Amino acid sequence: MKIRLLLKNSFPHLYLTFALLFTFWSLSIFEIYSKSTNGIHSTDLITNLFYKLLNDFGTALVIGLLFFPIYIAFYFLRKPWSVTAIKILFSIIVIGQFALVKYNLTTLVNLGADILGYSIDDMYTTVTASESLSYLYFFPFVVFPLLFLGINNLLVKYANPNVIYAFSTVFILLFVGLKYSIPEISDSSYQNKLSFFTTDIIRFQSDKNVFTAADLFYKKEYPLVQPFNSSPDVLAPFFEIKEEKPNIVMIIVEGLGAEFIGKNQYRGFTPYLDSLIPKSLYWENFVSNAGRTFGALPSILGSLPYGEKGFLEMNPLPSHISLVSILKANEYTTSFYCGDESSFDRKINFLEYNGIENVIDVNKFGPGYVKTKENSGGFSWGYPDDEIFKKTLSELDSKKLPRLDVIMTLTNHEPFDFPSKQEYLKKVDKIINSNRTLEVSKSEVNTYKDIFACLLYTDNSIKNFMESYSKRPEFQNTIFVITGDHRLIPVAQKDKLCRFHVPLYIYSPLLKKPQSFKSVSSHWDITPSLLSFLMNNYKMNKMEKTTWMSSGLDTVQKFRNIHKIPIMQNKGSINELIYKDYLYSNGDLFKINENFDLAKVNDKVMLKTMADTLNEAKRLNAYLTQKNKIIPNAINTYTKPAFEFSKEDLEKIKKLTKGLTYDEIFFLARDFAFNKERDKARLLCNYILNEFPNYADVRTLKGRTLAWDKNYSKAETELLEVVKRTPYYNDSYLALMDLYWWTDQDPKGILIAKKGLKNKVANPELGIKLAQAYKRTNKLTLANKVIDSVIKKHPTEKEFVKIKKTFVK
């Protein structure tokens, strides 16, 4: 009797569960339709739809069962609330499912544990770059919950409970039967988005618990430490060796997948890079070690492990060495160029740990350079590729030889906007109408027309840079390394390997002969081979030991793979492994052929070998990074750790900053400074700067507090550092002018004010302070000239006129 009563009372929950299911199905149909209208067609639409609907059923069933106890609890405690509570909870689930579908439509991949690796600010930056936020954007977030509620009302009014139970039974049997008989049904492309999101986070947490430092032990305390000659010099046979050390120019191209190069699937839109292949050492079957940009710098420059969510996310960074720190120790001038904020993905933290001398990012371009226009949401990544290369060229004359110049491009990324876009769109039209060697259809090119135009733009930007550089005297002694950070995401991917398939060029006038290689290597192999080449052939401070994750580039021409390459597709997800001629991906095994195509295979022995090898790679990664066992401090003479806090300081910081964003912490520090609690203010400033070294407001505040405490020397150092990092930020100039006034150093103040005005700092106070400095140094003519020019531009400012009256000619 009680069971029958319970079943009768559960009908409202059952209807809500089926309303959720039908909404999931609607969202799956919406996803397939949206992709098809954008030119992304499924090879088997019926199978794709059927598998998606079946997985949606499984997810809705699990959610219904999980929430049933909540429904029953409300039913017996507060009966009127039982249905309302589930409606609210399921509506939130619908909103979450739609958001995940929307993410997939933008990136063509499911969102999972990688969300744990990004800050709120980083996620906002990425979303606003990809989407234009408006009322229309949020409209579906309202429509689908209303659809769910409407379906529920229809079920309550018209549904027959017996039919629903029968329907459920049939689908449960079908779901269970197919789930075990057809493994493909569990593929991530068919999974319910919410199910994938949840299970991926659970998997990440499970891996985190399994691979904890407390349980990890290796007989060799530092497993990566090897004799220097363990990375053979494979590049020397291809080069003409001169006495002078060569310059290294490394170009890391955003989104440059190998599919867009040479004779591959999406060829035809990188003519300059294609022309470099027969002039270069070129690796056809080369891979990135990560599926996003966060993995590029540590893998390419340091051959470093991943950490939990990417090496750059570790704070503090484990002790390590890199191409930057080693070449700097060998009298190279080291510089990094990008068009965005170098603090994004914590790039600058890694670079400064390795002693980089010059970081030129969005803060240092200044007048004469044009930013990418803002989208309708007001977002711009920064400066487009051609401007990045122009800025690089403008800086080279002031940098002593030999040089290491690392350049990261930006434009080949959502929203794929750049100068003269219409001109490049016309070029795409011309190519698809005249080039009969294209493998892709005209309709597919038109679907991704912005992206192909962007590839043409980036390719032309690289061409302009290389042609300009070739006119420089040091060109003849320069080695260019060009690779992609990962394959761009929005263009549909043919398989699970192409996301990581990127080209590698080594081009130089020093090359004796070009050569293409089919052997497999990865980003991890670049630095070991470059340093082996330089150390063995030039006058360098020889290294006794190395700590690389791989042994170096393979220069065998035929297809083979001698490396074990685990891959972190997204932050926190090491689910892929390339070993021998196999790819292991999320439990599936694929055979790789010499054209880098995949074929799924069923080899239980090899599947277990790959799974065990990947687990060992995860274990090693955790041990190296959690226990700081990459390199012993005794042999790391190249880098110095970032600022470290005492336990007492950390406790104080934790207490003061609980629940606050970094911006809110800055406001708190400012309040402490104004209330004469300057030690606390500087502690919080140091905490913020440890994470965001270029946060100009924070460093300026720290400098001002030091000046207020009459620690003028340290104040000057901090404020000059702000000017160096952000030369177009006005407050640091004003703070320095005050400092030099207080310390009777007006000549210094005059020089810094002139520098600010040369950099087009627009704050009129800088002109006023310059005029006052001229007055104090008895240069009244110059003082009056400057203040007159300020008043002319700001005639309504009465305070400026009062100051003018104090000047005597």
Q: 420-477, pLDDT tens digit by residue?
A: 999 999 999 999 888 777 788 888 888 899 999 999 999 999 999 999 999 999 999 9
In this predicted structure, the answer to whether residue 7 has a pLDDT above a threshold of 60 is no
In this predicted structure, the answer to whether residue 8 has a pLDDT above a threshold of 80 is no
- Give the model's pLDDT for residue 640: 67
Q: Which residues pair with 478 in a beta bridge?
A: 247
Question: Rounded to an integer, what distance in angstroms lies between the CA atom of residue 396 and that of residue 285?
Answer: 33
Question: Rounded to an integer, what distance in angstroms lies between the CA atom of residue 384 and that of residue 416?
Answer: 10
Q: 265-276, pLDDT tens digit by residue?
A: 899 999 999 999
Please state which CATH number belongs to domain 647-762.
1.25.40.10
Query: Hey, what CATH topology would domain 226-239+247-626 get?
Result: Alkaline Phosphatase, subunit A (3.40.720)
Interacting residues of 259 by C-beta distance below 8 A, sequence separation 6+? 265, 266, 487, 494, 498, 501
Q: List the strands of the sheet with 582-585, edge to edge.
A: 564-570, 573-579, 582-585, 588-592, 598-600
E strand or H helix that includes residue 521:
strand 521-522
Q: 349-378, pLDDT tens digit by residue?
A: 999 999 999 999 999 998 889 999 887 666
Calculated CA dihedral for residues 206, 211, 214, 219, nearest 10 degrees = 160
Q: 221-235, pLDDT tens digit by residue?
A: 999 999 998 999 999
Give the distance between the most distant pair of CA atoms in the chain: 106
In this predicted structure, the answer to whether residue 117 has a pLDDT above a threshold of 80 is no
User: What does the pLDDT average to over 680-694?
Assistant: 93
> Could you give the C-alpha distances from 318 to 92, 299, 423, 626, 629, in angstroms and in order?
40, 14, 47, 8, 8
Q: Which residues pair with 252 in a beta bridge?
A: 408, 483
What token pair was written down for 275?
Answer: 């022309």
In this predicted structure, the answer to whether residue 613 has a pLDDT above a threshold of 60 is yes
> Could you give the C-alpha distances from 222 to 208, 228, 289, 545, 613, in angstroms and in order?
21, 15, 22, 11, 19
In this predicted structure, the answer to whether residue 536 has a pLDDT above a threshold of 90 is yes
User: What does the pLDDT average to over 381-403?
Assistant: 96
Q: 549-583, pLDDT tens digit by residue?
A: 999 999 999 999 999 999 999 888 899 999 999 99
- Give the model's pLDDT for residue 742: 95
Interacting residues of 134 by C-beta distance below 8 A, sequence separation 6+? 376, 377
In this predicted structure, the answer to whether residue 105 has a pLDDT above a threshold of 90 is no
Alpha carbon of residue 35 to chain centroid: 25
Interacting residues of 78 by C-beta distance below 8 A, sequence separation 6+? none
Task: Tell me if the bond preceding 402 is cis, omega within 30° of 0.
Answer: yes
- Give the model's pLDDT for residue 100: 93
Radius of gyration of the chain (CA): 30
Cβ-based neighbour number of residue 427 at 10 Å: 17
| Percentage of the chain lying above the pLDDT 70 cut | 93
> Which is more confidently placed, 490 or 576?
576
- Give the model's pLDDT for residue 622: 92
The model carries a pTM of: 0.86
What token pair was written down for 376?
Answer: 């309708």
Question: Rounded to an integer, what distance in angstroms lies between the CA atom of residue 570 and that of residue 568?
Answer: 6
- Domain boundary assignment for the chain: 2-206, 226-239+247-626, 647-762
- Give the model's pLDDT for residue 194: 94
Q: What is the 3-state secondary structure (H, E, C) of 558-613?
A: CCCCCCEEEEEEECCEEEEEEECCEEEECCEEEEECCCCCEEECCCHHHHHHHHHH
C-beta of residue 527 within 8 angstroms of C-beta of residue 322: yes
Q: What is the DSSP letter of 772?
A: H
Q: 734-785, pLDDT tens digit by residue?
A: 999 999 999 999 999 999 999 999 888 889 999 999 999 999 999 988 989 9
In this predicted structure, the answer to whether residue 1 has a pLDDT above a threshold of 50 is no
Interacting residues of 165 by C-beta distance below 8 A, sequence separation 6+? none
